[in-house]
Amino acid sequence: MISKRVLTAAALIASMGVTNTVLAAENAHAAFAKPCGRSTMIVRCSTGSQSCERNELVLRAGTSQPVVLPVPQGLEKYDPVGLACARGADASPFFVVEYGDASHSCASCEWHHIYAPDGRLLTQSDPAFVSDPSLPGGQSLHPNTADFTRVSKDLGLSKAPVVYGH
């Protein structure tokens, strides 16, 4: 009889530990969303990341099922960390997604990408870093943002406030 009580107590304690771990992971990086046109983008803990050390980008377009969008080529080590909805010169909506180092260990690791409301990626950052020989030694590498700058000018994107998770 004592062994059943001990096993029951041990099972209860173990399940509480798992529940607390799951709750801690869910609260580590709360999901956040940004509507834009008839779509919404969501940044949430990656489904493959039990302790929420990685984020993923999810698109919900109209009434269709949510879809996890792939990370832009060259940014596989980085996560979506911010969302904005900008308008083009013709008032068309576009998502602007900020990618960066969610652990904040890289202060200069920041890229912005433009997505159409249907989730199509319109910009690239491959390679992630480019060299600028005119900058002093340790600062010669910087995030590759040339395509974002070009496409945002071509679309006439308005400056939009970026929303970040807490």
Q: How far is CA 36 from CA 12, 81, 84, in A?
A: 45, 17, 8
Task: Examine the domain organization and report whether 39 and 13 are in the same domain.
Answer: no
Residue burial 26-52, b: 16+ Cβ < 10 Å; e: rest:
eeebeebebebbebbbbbbbeeeeeeb
Q: Does the pTM exceed 0.85?
A: no
Task: Examine the domain organization and report whether 12 and 60 are in the same domain.
Answer: no
Q: Looking at residue 137, what is its pLDDT?
A: 65
Q: Looking at residue 102, what is its pLDDT?
A: 74
The tally of domains found in the chain comes to 2
Task: Examine the domain organization and report whether 7 and 46 are in the same domain.
Answer: no
Q: Which two tokens stand for residue 49?
A: 């990341």
Range of the domain at 138: 31-164
Q: Which of 27-31, 80-84, 99-103, 111-115 has the lowest mean pLDDT?
A: 27-31
Task: Examine the domain organization and report whether 82 and 134 are in the same domain.
Answer: yes
Task: Examine the domain organization and report whether 40 and 82 are in the same domain.
Answer: yes
Task: Examine the domain organization and report whether 55 and 121 are in the same domain.
Answer: yes
Task: Examine the domain organization and report whether 23 and 66 are in the same domain.
Answer: no
Task: Examine the domain organization and report whether 10 and 52 are in the same domain.
Answer: no
Residue burial 118-133, b: 16+ Cβ < 10 Å; e: rest:
ebebbbbbeebeeeee
Q: Looking at residue 22, what is its pLDDT?
A: 35
- pLDDT confidence tier of residue 133, bands split at 50, 70 and 90: confident
Task: Examine the domain organization and report whether 123 and 108 are in the same domain.
Answer: yes
